[in-house]
Structure 1
Amino acid sequence: MSRLVAAGRAAGLIGTWLGVATTGAAVGFAAERYVMGRSLKKDDPHAAEPFGTLRGEPRVVATDDGVALYVEVDAAGEAGDGLTLVFCHGFALTQDAWHFQRRDLRGSARLVFWDQRGHGRSGPLPEDSELSFQRLGTDLGQVIDAVAPDGPVILVGHSMGGMTLQALAEARPELFGDRVVGVALIATSGQKLDVSGLGLPGYLGKLAGRAAPGAVTVLARRPHLVDHGRRMGSDLAYVLTRRYAFAEGGSPRLVEFTAMMNAAVPFDVVATFFPLFGELGAAGALPALSKVPTLVVAAEHDQMTPVRHGRELAESLTDVEYIEATDAGHMVVLERHELVTQGLRDLVARVRRGAGAPRRTSTRVAAVKRPAPAAKRPKRGKGNR
């Protein structure tokens, strides 16, 4: 009996870790905001931001294996050169992760946003199908073929979206330099990631590392264990979501928004995608990517795709602007949205000016001021009751 209890506790712990660290569960966030964010909310510049409300013209792209990919298109406004920007979101997110870029770039070009298979409003993963980055790259290619069949295209990818973009470059290099005229790779990697531990500290990270692949597979068949872990760990959920996705001291509203997107992804999808990151290898994409102007953005405190991966990716390319965002984590597209958006504006301007002589990597390290922490009250003692 004691073994059964211990096994249940272990499953709960692993479920908490996986359900929180991998999907950022939103259960219990109301209490968490009260405990941890109430005093900060008045200082949160994003407290009233209408996340998830920006919508475009809906489209559905049917893939060759029968998945209905949900796509939205924002018209180009007065921009008449036919340029289209296609945005590819990251793991356990949706197209709404591009909220700020969508808000601030509307009208500057035609914008295309899509949900990757199994995510957001797109259809579920087909039964008995084999998932790979090659499959995701094929999906992206079919989105381009369907909604941007003519004219120049800039591809923008964050995290897994950047890996998807690289998979397309490897599979269809003829697109790059012809149809695809620019690329932005944001908080992403072209090499195998260490999925053990997921950035968790000390003993918990070691435990997670030993349990990871097998535990994900087991829990995919028992999603109720994950849900139980979420219910038990709302405080931990907030802390870990902030830890793996943001730099310390970031906006509570951004943490909550990210967690809501994460939690909407079914756990069986999480379990299917999870192993891919330990198998990543995109060196074959470099020749195609080197044909076009490229923006690479890395974040100093990224716990998911280490900043050195961004540096090495930029060093492997020819015509590239490299931006390293200090005081930012994996969700740099939200946390340092103004920096990312300006980088995209600069990339669009480079493309519109036309290809010049290839230039060497430039580096721009950007800092941001955080609100000063509130002064701590003195501890109560005999002299200050």
Structure 2
Amino acid sequence: MSTTTARRAADYDGHRITVSADDGTPISVRTFGTDDAHLTVVFVHGHCLRAESWSFLRDQLLRHWGTVVGGADGAGKYSGTVVGGADGAGKYSGTVVGGADGVGKYSGTVVGGADGAGKYSGTVVGGTDQAGNHSGSADVRMVFYDHRGHGESGIAHPSTYTIDQLGHDLDAVLRSVVPTGPIILIGHSMGAMVTIAYSRLFPATIGTRVVGVGLIAGAANGITEVGLGRFLNRRAVNSLQVAVLRAPRFMQASKRLSRRIFEPIAREANMGTKRTNPRMVAVAAAMMNDTPLLTMSSFLASLMSFDESASLCRLGSIPALVLAGSADIVVPFAHSVVLASQLAGSELVRLEGAGHSVHLERAEEVALSIVALVDRVIAAMHGHDPGYATAS
């Protein structure tokens, strides 16, 4: 395989890294984009999911932000990859990836076509004009990782399966993978809770390193008061945890036997009222089925007692996106209304008919909202020009 082909394959599949949490638990990380990108967006997944739960959304974002491939030759021609056709004037009407021209324009990724005048009418990511001003959004790096006990990350002691511990694991990922530069945190469901908890655990990072947040299908508290969480009670959860610890093989076998019963219920709970791509349903079901029963049960106590209402004020000073589906019966939309009301810099987005797995169901729409959040963050950064701290 040629170097160029290998690099493109790596860009498509991401760069894989293993980070050691503070207690030594291996955390599986995948990154997309260059290490010196102007901005990094870190995605924090939900309970019984994994980093791959972002794959449909990631593909949409890659279409917006692109992957830098190739440079510019001395003649100022694009030596990157050109995808798409050319219009009648011979200008590129497809996608130009990578490269800068000889006069220093478009040093990042150009996405979109060319108008009749031959100028790019698409989105410019990371390009600078001759005066050194940004001619579009800053180039963006994306980071995805699996929580402990999920996906390709290591299994840990059940006593560490808490929201606070996941906040510390997030910090370990940021210190190792994104040691410098501004960060946007995007969390879904339990990942949104981890993001809020992180603001309490590491308050000095908010507004200095963490310059924006996205809370998707999240809540600050009260998940047992409305939605499916009402059926959770401490006695039942404790009994499940004891059973899993004492008879793990029997309980895992029971989980497999009951899959035919619970999969349709999980589909209805997570996918909302509109017709969903069967592949998305299969991906979500596979991730839930692959999650160890010990992981699933051990996090329930932390989820039930979760209350970070007092932490929301720490996030009020930075741009935020609060997004959820109107048909979410796991964490109903009312939770998002409360979140947005407490975050001064937030945009509240309601996707009609979408369920709890809104980032799977409506990946394109969620991607557009995240792109808009990134644009708001960049505008705020340019307006205030804060000094960004280094991970400690």
TM-score, with structure 2 as normaliser: 0.70
Instruction: Identify the residue that residue 94 of structure 1 maps to in structure 2.
Output: 50
How many Å separate the matches in 1 of 2:41 and 2:219?
Answer: 21
Report if aligned partners of 2:227, 2:329 keep a CA contact under 8 Å in 1.
no
Q: Does 1:240 align with 2:198?
A: no
Report the Cα distance in structure 2 between the residues aligned to 1:131 and 1:195, rounded to whole angstroms.
22
2:206 alignment counterpart: 176
Deviation, 1:212, is 2.6
Given the alignment of the two structures, is residue 212 of structure 1 paired with residue 242 of structure 2, yes or no? no
Count how many residue pairs are aligned between Structure 1 and Structure 2.
Answer: 297
After superposition, the CA RMSD in angstroms is 2.6
Question: Are the counterparts in 2 of residues 192 and 277 from structure 1 also a CA contact under 8 Å?
Answer: no
Preserved contact between residue 226 and residue 331 of structure 2 (Cα < 8 Å): no
| Residue 266 in structure 1 maps to residue 292 in structure 2 | yes
1:188-227 equivalences under 5 Å are 188-194=218-224, 198=228, 212-221=236-245, 222-227=247-252
Q: Report what 2:88 is aligned to.
A: none
Which string of whole-angstrom CA distances, capped at 9 and with x for unpartnered residues, describes residues 320-339 of structure 1? 11001110110000011111
Shift of 1:234: 4.3
Counterpart of 2:182 in structure 1 is: 152
Q: Mark the CA change 1:56 to 1:195 in structure 2 (over 3 Å): closer, same or farther.
A: farther
1:237 Cα shift? 2.7
Within 2, Cα distance between the matches of 1:217 and 1:68? Answer: 23
Could you list the runs of 4 or more consecutive aligned residues of structure 1 that deviate by over 4 angstroms after TM superposition? 208-211, 355-358
Q: Contact 2:324 / 2:351 at 8 angstroms: preserved in 1? A: yes
Deviation digits for residues 287-309 of structure 1 (CA, Å, limit 9, x no counterpart): 22112100000211212212111
**Unpaired runs of 5+ in structure 1?**
1-52, 359-385
User: For the Cα contact (< 8 Å) 1:54–1:99, is it kept in 2?
Assistant: no
Change (3 A) 1:196 1:218: farther
- 8 Å CA contact 1:199–1:304 kept in 2: the answer is yes
TM superposition score normalised by structure 1: 0.71
Structure 2: which amino acid aligns with 1:85?
Answer: V
Structure-2 separation of matches of 1:139 and 1:220: 25
CA displacement at 1:70 relative to structure 2: 0.7
Cα gap change, 1:216/1:348 in structure 2, threshold over 3 Å: closer, same or farther? same
SS at match of 1:198: helix
Q: Which has the higher contact order (CA 8 A, sep 6+)?
A: 1
- AA in 2 matched with 1:116: H
Partner of 1:350: 376
Equivalent residue letter for 2:217:
A
Deviation at 1:227, TM superposition (A): 3.8
Residue among 135, 148, 151 paired with 1:120: 151
The match for 1:65 is 23
Shift of 1:103: 1.0
CA distance in structure 2 between the partners assigned to 1:333 and 1:258 by the alignment:
11
Judge conservation of contact 1:298–1:311 (CA < 8 Å) in 2.
no
Deviation at 1:144, TM superposition (A): 0.7
* Aligned pairs for 1:299-338 within 5 A: 299-338=325-364
Match for 1:325: what amino acid? L
User: Shift in Å at residue 76 of structure 1?
Assistant: 4.2
Structure 1 pair 133/232, CA: closer, same or farther in 2 (3 Å)?
closer
CA distance, structure 1, for counterparts of residue 161 and residue 315 of structure 2: 23
- Structure 2 residue runs without a partner (length 5+): 1-10, 67-138, 385-392
Percent of aligned positions that are identical: 33
